[in-house]
Amino acid sequence: MALGKLVQVQTTTIVSPSPTVTLTGIDTDDVYMVTYSNVSFATSAELFMRVTSGTPATPVTSLTYNEARIGLFADAAAQKTGGNQNKVGMSGGLADTTTGSSTSGIIYLYNFNNSSEYNFGIYNTVYRDTSLRSRGFSGGFYQKTAQATNGVHFLNASSINFTSGTFTLYKVL
C-alpha cells in the first residue's frame, strides 16, 4: 500500500500514570493509522486494544474480535496465536519501566466509519520484554459486528497504569 499524506487526528503522551488511553476522531471512510512508541507500565503487563463506538466513545468489550498473529523471536521459534477475544493483543509480551522494557507499533484501520461492513486492522509491533529480549508480532484482526466505530482504546488485562508512551491517530489520505 503506497502511503500518501498523513493527517494527525489526535495524540496522547503519558505524563502521569493512567490505566487506559483512548484515541478518537475516526469520522470518514478513509484508512486510519495508529502509532504507539515507548509504551511501558508500572509493573509487568501486556498491551491490548479495543475499538470504541458511540458518544462518548465507549470501548467495545464483547467477544467480537477475531485475531491472528505470528510472533517473531530472535531467540526462539516463531509463535502462531489467534482466536475469538474480547480485545486484541498488541505487545505479546510484558513491558514495565522497572526492567527498561517497552513496546512500539503501527496499526492500520479499515472500514471503521462504515456501519454496514466489519472493521478490521493489520499491525506490526516490536517490544523488549522484561528479560530485555527483542521480539515482534505481525498480525491482523476484525470485529465480527458491522458497526461504525470512532476510535481505539488501549489497556492491559489488570488495570495497571501506563507510565510512558506516545499514542497517535492519523488519517491516511
54 Ramachandran zone, left/alpha/beta (phi>0; psi -120 to 50): left
Domains and CATH numbers, the chain: 6-172 (2.60.120)
**pLDDT tens-digit profile, the chain (173 residues):** 455 799 999 999 999 999 999 999 999 999 999 999 999 888 888 899 999 999 999 999 998 999 999 988 878 888 888 889 899 988 766 666 777 788 899 999 999 999 999 999 999 999 887 777 788 999 999 999 899 999 999 999 888 999 999 999 999 99
Please check whether residue 136 is in contact with residue 11, taking contact to mean a CB–CB distance below 8 angstroms.
no
Q: Whole-model pTM above 0.85? A: yes
Q: Is 143 helix (H, G, I), strand (E, B) or coil?
A: strand
**Strand 58-59, strand 88-89: pairing:** unpaired
Q: Which helix (H) or strand (E) holds 32?
A: strand 31-41
Residue 39 to residue 95: CA distance in whole angstroms: 8
Q: Give the N- to C-terminal CA distance of the chain in Å, as an integer.
A: 12
pLDDT score of 13: 98
